[in-house]
Chains A and B, each alone.
Chain A
Amino acid sequence: MPSVTHSDSSSSPASPADYRLQSEAVAARFAALHARPVVLEAEHLSCEFDSERGRVTALRDINVRIHRRELVCVIGPSGCGKSTFARVIAGLQPVSAGRILVDGVAVTAPGPDRGMVFQGYTLFPWLTLTQNVRFGLDMQGRSDGPADAEARQWLDLVGLGKFHDSYPHQLSGGMKQRVAIARALAAGPKILLMDEPFGALDPSTRAQMQAHLMEIWRNVDITIVFITHDMDEAILLADRILVLKANPGEVQEFIEVPVPRPRRLDQFNTPEFQAMRQHLDSLIHPAPGPNSPDHCPLPFIRLTQAGDDVE
């Protein structure tokens, strides 16, 4: 049992531990983390755009500072603008107000310092895996030989050494996403943006990819902003979780995850994990009020005559 810094640690089993309680090791880790330089900063960031339903405020007045080598998960209900947040940082979506600073420099357009991994893989289907991974290096004007060697190294790192000369259509979804990660990292970004990268994968592949991502992150100097709607995934991966609320997308809470590292799947049953999980649940799925659109009981219509009632 990790010792707890707070005095009111005598939590009963009925109400799980406070998610703000951190063991000494975890608290020390966060202290060290906050001492690192700020890599990514959002200053009064707002983003509006026109859609079929009129003008939408996707993000409003977001203020966030993310440190070097931090892994931040962004979570929130659907329509909270979490994907927009990633796209704005990447420079793919213009901001309406405020700004994004990377190492203190404001960014306005996409650039190789912010790599991105999309849910839809987006590998170039006409290129082999090596050529795909080389793409970012080619854009920087690197010469063929070293670029090729480096691309192969990245493919080896994500465990696809045997598939150098395969084409994307020959791979499974998980493998494609590993290539996409290798391709983004090969370009040498400071920040890796991941927009629900494992959302299209089946649960077991997904767990593998999460383990894989943590392994890569341990070995590479990279700051990760990971968009997800899966709370367990967020807790498993993140140093801090940025919770957004919907309509308009605003910061609800920026939480330090108390689960100690290294993370493993069997930490799911620890009190820290459960406390965190319960808190996220209460933030993202608040108990429906009488006026909420989700709160309407289904009309009860009897459609079976069999008399074998199951409930």
Chain B
Amino acid sequence: MALLSVRREPPARYRWLLWVLAFALPLATWSAVSYIPWLWHPQVLITDAGSVSWIKPGLRLDRADFAAQVNKATAANLAPPVGEPANPLYLPPPHAVGRALYGAFTTAPRLKGDMWLHESIVMSIKTIFLGFAISSLFALPLGIICGAYPALSRMTEPFVDFVRYMPAPAFGALMVAIFGIHLEPKIAIVVLGTFFTQVLVTAGTVRRVDPALLEAAQTLGAKRGKLVRRVIIPACLPDLYNDTRILIGCAWTYLVVAEVVGVSSGITFFINQQAKYRNFDNVYAAIIIIGLIGLATDQVLSFIGARLFGWKLTRRSRTRAFLGWLFSPRDVLYFPDKPSTR
């Protein structure tokens, strides 16, 4: 089995297949659970109430309760209720979510003044983008300085570490008191959640710059500021770029928390609202949209990164670079230091 060798990349012709399987397998499981009646279906969806007065068509009953009602009705020689096996409402089948995915964009919000889904998404992206940009604006320089000058790192990092352990949502009420109830406190929470981690991660990356490069630069006459600007920053830029990619993922986590602070907004508001109406297909649709946005952002950034920092990789043809990008292992978070042997 060439496909299952320890620590060996599968042959190229299988990679696209594996990539497809990565999404097809979860989808297949979901479909099986949704469409094969005997697999799970713990409830019964009533199609005809029969003689039972309190049952209405469309109601979902647990199997045991339904069986009890049927027994009671047959014992009393009355028409028993009729139904078909069904999943609970919170697990809609894939086609319903697919329909919702389309419908969510075309259906007007139920309440006047509520946002359309695309407006919610734009608002979420705005929150996360502003929050992440503000965080990066301060965290990257601070992290680089901390990584380059150990004295400064000893002066700042203990405190940064201390604050990092405080959960950002705990500052929710405080942020509302300071920034009001609209977009500002949400951005502030994304900043709080991202900033401190970003400082530490950036400083750590800067510290991993090969000291031999610094020594070489020093023997060529580079000192302090020039050493930082001309050697440290360019040497760790690809890794910083990758750190940023990963941290954007963290920012999405804080986004969901941030959006329930103050006036609920964005995609989280949409999800909560739809859950309230028990439109779980819409809830799934919104969650999938978040996933798609995240995946797309990450892939685009990864592709741009490979273009920007080609010196970290061996030069490959354009098509191979594209295919390699598409089917490269997804758990590789950093550029390999040496050209990979693939």
Partners in one complex: yes
Give bound CA distance, A91 to B235, whole Å. Answer: 23
CB-defined contacts of A170 to chain B, threshold 8 Å: 314-315
* Interface of chain B residues 192 through 231 with chain A (CB within 8 A): 210, 212-213, 215-222, 226, 230-231
The contact of A112 among B220, B231, B235, by CB within 8 Å, is B220
B221 touching A112 by the CB < 8 A rule? yes
Q: Residue B329 at the A interface, CB < 8 A?
A: no
CB-defined contacts of A193 to chain B, threshold 8 Å: 219
Given A115-B219, A124-B216, output 5 extra A-B contacts at Cβ < 8 Å.
A125-B235, A167-B311, A169-B339, A170-B315, A187-B220
- A–B pairs, 25, beta carbons within 8 Å: A90-B215, A91-B219, A92-B218, A92-B219, A110-B215, A111-B221, A112-B219, A115-B219, A116-B216, A116-B219, A118-B215, A118-B216, A124-B216, A126-B309, A135-B217, A135-B230, A139-B221, A139-B222, A169-B311, A169-B313, A169-B314, A169-B339, A170-B314, A180-B216, A184-B219
* Interface of chain A residues 169 through 196 with chain B (CB within 8 A): 169-170, 180, 183-184, 187, 193
Name B's A-contacting residues (CB within 8 A): 210, 212-213, 215-222, 226, 230-231, 234-235, 237, 309-315, 339
A124 touching B213 by the CB < 8 A rule? yes
* Interface of chain A residues 124 through 146 with chain B (CB within 8 A): 124-127, 135-136, 138-140
B231 touching A120 by the CB < 8 A rule? no
- Minimum CB–CB distance for A17 against chain B, Å: 40
A114 touching B221 by the CB < 8 A rule? no
Which of A109, A110, A111, A115 has the most CB atoms of chain B within a 10 A radius of its CB?
A110
CB-defined contacts of B312 to chain A, threshold 8 Å: 125
Give bound CA distance, A110 to B218, whole Å. Answer: 6
Give bound CA distance, A118 to B314, whole Å. Answer: 23
CB-defined contacts of A138 to chain B, threshold 8 Å: 230
Give bound CA distance, A120 to B337, whole Å. Answer: 14
A122 touching B311 by the CB < 8 A rule? no
Give bound CA distance, A199 to B305, whole Å. Answer: 34
A125 touching B219 by the CB < 8 A rule? no
- Minimum CB–CB distance for B112 against chain A, Å: 56
Give bound CA distance, A120 to B213, whole Å. Answer: 10
- Minimum CB–CB distance for A85 against chain B, Å: 15
